[in-house]
Chain A
Amino acid sequence: MSLFLLNDIVVFIFIEVILLLLLFISEFSVLKVLKYWDFSATTTFQYALEKRNYLVNTIIYFTVSVKIVLFIFFVKSLDELSLLVPGAMCATGVIGANSYGNILLLFKIFMLFLLSIWIIINKLDLESKVFPYIKEKYYLFSFIFVLTCIEFCLELFYFMNIPLSVPVFCCSTVFKLDNLPFELNTSGLLIIYYLLFVVILISSYYKKSIISFFANILFLFTSYYAVTYFFGTYIYELPNHKCPFCMLQKEYFYVGYFIWFSLFLGVFFGISPYIIESITLKKYTYLHKYCILFTTIFVALSTYFVVSYYLKNGVLL
């Protein structure tokens, strides 16, 4: 039972249960609204349904705030666990300790994306006087609710299956250069990386939501590989240290948090306009400027380490 391995895990699961409970309560309201909603009605029942809207909103705002804190907490706990899990030097080993880890991490990021999109749609809904997107946003909510349940199960499976006796593989074995997809080499990867950056800048500047959407999705994957296999080595200043997680540690001044969060925020603001437009069927270009901002921060930050290394040492790794 490695569930009890760390106080942190117990706390983590406990808070997740509370959130799940709250979401469950809102889901009850959501189903009611989906079933009986009739904006034109002037019955007390309809007005009671409108009031339920505020319960769901409150709970979601609360959930999102807590989930963001928990996400950071989760990543930190993984680092902590690397002291306990044999073979693990950083979060790579811990997250890869069983087959649930990586899925769970992706799931968590995806959930934060979805919740944020929900909040934006909710904001648009509340700005209008006729609740135009209430059904859409509640279908999305139900979807989020189901995913949260799945996420919770994944968390349980993941924590229960962390091996404590068999050594796990860590970053030195997991990330090898020949792991790049499509038989890419580093220079090819970098060309795509900067090319996509330019495409994102242009499409965001001209507010082309659909181009920005696809470019950002590609950029997310490219950046993952680029940071892990190229930029990371300059952060660590070691040619063979390839790891997306070590940079989260104190030795590297927590720079990983800035890198990954600027990437995720940039990608989020890049893809959400298109998703929101396809739900609300209206132009929504307000977020593009944030996409430009965060993506630029991300690219500048990652490039900075290469440039500063070159200036200091006169050579590249």
Chain B
Amino acid sequence: MRSKILIRNLYKIYNEKKENEFFALKNINLNIKCGEIVIIKGISGSGKSTLLSLIGALSKPSSGDILVNEQNIAKLPDIFSSQYRNEEVGFIFQSFNLVDGLSVYDNVKAPLVLSNINQDELKKKINLALEVANIAHKSQQMVSNLSGGEKQRCAIARALVNSPSLILADEPTANLDKNNSLIFVDILKKFKQLNKTVVVATHDTIFDNLAFVDTYVNIEDGAII
């Protein structure tokens, strides 16, 4: 199968050439195929988030290549990397990262306002995403009034609204109770059915030994083991 993400000799060094220089990622090589679900496991501080942020073009590597759909995103100018984040990637963050003071609906709308689509299409896309994430009944609520599980479902709807092919989730269950965590695992399955490529960084054991997960990657001190 075609590879979705191909990582070669990836390094991320914080505070390069300074006293407190720190190798967060060391020579990472990874091949993730289209439609795969990948769980990156490792203890806190092992470099999972750093890796996800590089795949999602939130930050730039110190060296090495990250090819997504055969395009190297490691050195893209801001306009292109932003477009990539907007169209290709859906993020689900540990702390949800919703915009306080806006309704669920407006939060989900945010990624769409960059493209010039008409109102009908805009509504259709948002409502579809809300349905899939099972949060449509709360669409007019302010996000600050939502529970943890609902917040995450709102974040999932936002991640899905632009129908990205790649979903990146960083510690998605860290702020959820057991019940909601299990719901998230179900949603992962749904992603699989939708043929999304998913990368989850976590240290939660709830993701261990899931049948539908294609690959488990263990990371320790910034290196894959």
A residues whose Cβ falls under 8 Å from a Cβ of B: 39, 42-44, 47, 50-51, 54, 126, 129, 131
Instruction: Give the contacting residue for B78; candidates A42, A43, A44, A50; CB below 8 A.
Output: A50
Any chain A CB within 8 A of the CB of B80? yes
Query: Contact between B78 and A54 (Cβ–Cβ < 8 Å)?
Result: yes
B208 at the interface (CB under 8 A from A): no
Q: Mark the stretch among B55-63, B129-137, B168-176 that contacts chain A.
A: B55-63
**Selected contact of B60 from candidates A39, A42, A54, A129, CB within 8 Å:** A42
Having A39-B75, A44-B16, A50-B78, one finds 7 other A-B pairs with CB under 8 Å, namely A42-B60, A42-B75, A50-B77, A54-B78, A126-B77, A129-B77, A129-B80
B30 CB–A CB distance under 8 Å: no
Q: Is the interface of A mostly helix, strand, loop or mixed?
A: helix
Bound-state CA distance A44–B16 (Å) is: 8
List CB contacts (< 8 Å) of B63-114 with chain A: 63, 74-80
User: Given the complex, which residues of A lie within 8 Å of B16, measured CB to CB?
Assistant: 43-44
| Chain A residue nearest in CB terms to B17 | A43
- Evaluate contact between A42 and B61: CB separation under 8 angstroms: yes
Which residues of chain A have C-beta atoms less than 8 A from B80's C-beta? Answer: 129
- Nearest CB on A from B88, distance (A): 15
| Alpha-carbon separation in the docked complex, A44 to B61 (Å) | 10
Q: A42 to B63, Cβ gap below 8 A?
A: yes
> How many whole Å from B64's CB to the nearest CB in chain A?
9
Nearest CB in chain A to that of B75: its residue: A42
Chain B residue at minimal CB-CB distance from A128: B77
A42 vs B76: C-alpha distance when bound (angstroms): 11
B16: min CB distance to chain A, Å: 7
Docked CA distance A47–B60 (Å)? 9
Chain B binding surface, main DSSP class: loop
Contacts of A44 in B (CB 8 A): 16
Q: List 5 A-B contacts (CB under 8 A).
A: A42-B60, A50-B77, A126-B79, A129-B76, A131-B77
Report the Cα distance A39→B76, complex, angstroms.
Answer: 11
**Contact pattern, B 149-193, Cβ under 8 Å of A = 1, otherwise 0:** 000000000000000000000000000000000000000000000
Assembly CA distance A51 to B81 (angstroms): 13
Chain B residues with Cβ below 8 Å from A42 are 60-63, 74-75
State the 9 A-B residue pairs at the shortest beta-carbon distance, nearest first.
A42-B62, A129-B80, A42-B63, A47-B60, A129-B77, A129-B76, A126-B79, A50-B77, A42-B60
Nearest Cβ on chain B to A85's Cβ, whole angstroms? 50
**Complex alpha-carbon distance, A129 and B71, angstroms:** 11
How far is A112 from B61 in the complex, measured between Cα atoms in Å?
A: 40
Map CB proximity to A onto B6-21 as digits: 1 under 8 Å, 0 otherwise.
0000000000100000
- Tell me which residues across on chain B come within 8 A of A126, comparing CB atoms: 77, 79
B137 CB, nearest partner CB in chain A, Å: 41
Bound together, the chains give a CA A54 to CA B82 distance in angstroms of: 14
Closest chain B residue, CB of each to CB of A126: B79
Minimal beta-carbon separation of B23 from chain A (angstroms): 14
Nearest CB of chain A from residue B63's CB, rounded to whole Å = 6
Q: Tell me the chain B residues, 35-70 only, with Cβ under 8 Å from chain A.
A: 60-63
Closest approach, in angstroms, between the C-beta of A308 and any C-beta of chain B? 43
Contacts of A39 in B (CB 8 A): 75
* Interface bits B112-143 vs A (CB < 8 Å: 1, else 0): 00000000000000000000000000000000
**Inter-chain contacts of B76 with A (CB < 8 A):** 129
Q: Which of B61, B74, B75, B79 has the most CB of A within 10 A?
A: B75
The minimal Cβ–Cβ distance linking B22 to chain A, given in whole angstroms, is: 13
- The distance in angstroms between the C-alpha atoms of A54 and B77, with both chains bound, is 11
Give CA–CA (A47, B63) in the complex, Å.
Answer: 13
Could you tell me the distance in whole angstroms from the C-beta of B178 to the nearest C-beta in chain A? 41
Q: How far is the CA of A50 from the CA of B80 in the complex (A)?
A: 13
Q: How many angstroms from the CA of A50 to the CA of B79 in the assembled complex?
A: 11
Please measure, in the bound complex, the distance between the C-alpha atom of A244 and the C-alpha atom of B74, giving whole angstroms: 56
Contact of A51 among B63, B74, B75, B78 (CB under 8 A): B78
**Chain B, Cβ-Cβ closest to A43:** B16
| Residue numbers in A under 8 Å from B62 (CB-CB) | 42
Name which of A39, A42, A47 has the most chain B CB atoms within 10 A of its CB.
A42
A137 to B34 Cα, complex, angstroms: 40
Q: Contacts of B79 on A, CB cut-off 8 Å? A: 126
CB distance from A46 to the nearest CB of B (A): 9
Complex interface: chain A residues within 8 A of B78 (CB): 50-51, 54
Bound Cα distance from A136 to B75, whole angstroms: 21
Chain A residues with CB under 8 Å of B61's CB are 42
- Shortest distance from the beta carbon of A148 to any chain B beta carbon, whole Å: 27
Bound Cα distance A131, B80 (Å): 12
Q: Report the minimum CB–CB distance from B18 to chain A (whole Å).
A: 10
Give the chain B neighbours of A131 by CB distance below 8 A.
77
